[in-house]
Structure 1
Amino acid sequence: MDLYPPGFEECDDLRSAFIRDIILKQCEGSRNVIEDFNTSQTSIPKRLLRYWHDPLNLPDDVRGCLESWDSLADEGFEFYMFDDTSAAEYIAEFYGERELSAFERCRHPAMRCDYLRMCFILEKGGMYIDADDVLIGDGWKYMFRDERLKLQPLCYDMTIGGMMAAADIWRPDLPSGKRIFYVNNDPIAGPAGHPILRSALVRATEKLLNTNGTLEIQSTTGPGNLTAALAAHARQLELSGLPLDFEILRNWDSIAEMRWNLSYRSDDRNWRNVYGC
Structure 2
Amino acid sequence: MPEDRKLNLDDVEAIEAILTSVPEAFNLYKTHGLNTVSNTFHIANLLHLHAKVYEASLFYRHACDLHSKLPTEHPSPQILLHVSLLCLLKAGRDLPEEEIKELEGYSKTHANYIRGIQASWREGNTERAMALIGNTFEEFHSGEEIDVLYLEIALKHFSPLNGPITAESYSPIPRRLYMFWDQNPPPSIAQNIEYHKELLGDEFVFFDKKTGGEWLFRHFGREALALFEEARHPAEAADFLRIHVILKNGGWWIDADLRLKSLEEWEKTARLPKDSRFFTTNNFYVHNDFFGAVPNHPILVNAAVTCWTNMLKYHGLFISYKTGPGVFNRSLSRTFYNAFIYDEPLPSLAIGTASDMFSFVEQFDVEYKSLGTWHTA
Residue equivalent to 2:19: none
Counterpart residue type for residue 8 of structure 1: F
State which of 147, 171, 174 in structure 2 corresponds to 1:15.
147
Q: Which has the higher contact order (CA 8 A, sep 6+)?
A: 1
Residue equivalent to 1:166: none
Conserved 8 A contact 2:280-2:351: yes
CA offset digits 1:111-156 (Å, max 9, x no partner): 00001000000000000101111222433334332233111211xx
Matched, 1:92 2:217: yes
Residue equivalent to 2:49: none
State which of 350, 356, 372 in structure 2 corresponds to 1:247.
350
- Residue correspondences, number: 237
Choose between structure 1 and 2: higher helix proportion: 2
For residues 222 and 287 of structure 2, what CA distance do their matches in structure 1 show?
27
Matched, 1:58 2:161: no
Choose between structure 1 and 2: higher strand proportion: 1
Residue equivalent to 2:269: 143
* Cα deviation, residue 216, structure 1: 1.5
Counterpart residue type for residue 187 of structure 2: D
1:1-277 matches, cutoff 5 A? 2-8=131-137, 11=140, 12-24=144-156, 30=159, 34=163, 40-54=169-183, 57-70=184-197, 72-73=199-200, 78-137=203-262, 138-144=264-270, 145-154=272-281, 169=282, 180-211=283-314, 214-238=316-340, 239-240=342-343, 242-250=345-353, 251-260=356-365, 262-266=366-370, 272-273=372-373, 276=376
* Cα deviation, residue 233, structure 1: 1.6
CA offset digits 1:66-90 (Å, max 9, x no partner): 333345427xx52211111211111
For residues 32 and 243 of structure 1, what CA distance do their matches in structure 2 show?
10
Conserved 8 A contact 2:320-2:375: no
* Cα deviation, residue 200, structure 1: 0.8
The two structures have a TM-score, normalised by structure 2, of 0.56
CA offset digits 1:176-214 (Å, max 9, x no partner): xxxx52211010211001111111111111121233x52
Residue ranges of structure 1 left out of the alignment (5+ in a row)? 155-168, 170-179
* Structure 1 residues 70 and 150, CA gap change in structure 2 (3 angstroms): same
The two structures have a TM-score, normalised by structure 1, of 0.75
Percent pairwise identity = 27
Q: SS in structure 2 opposite 1:128?
A: strand
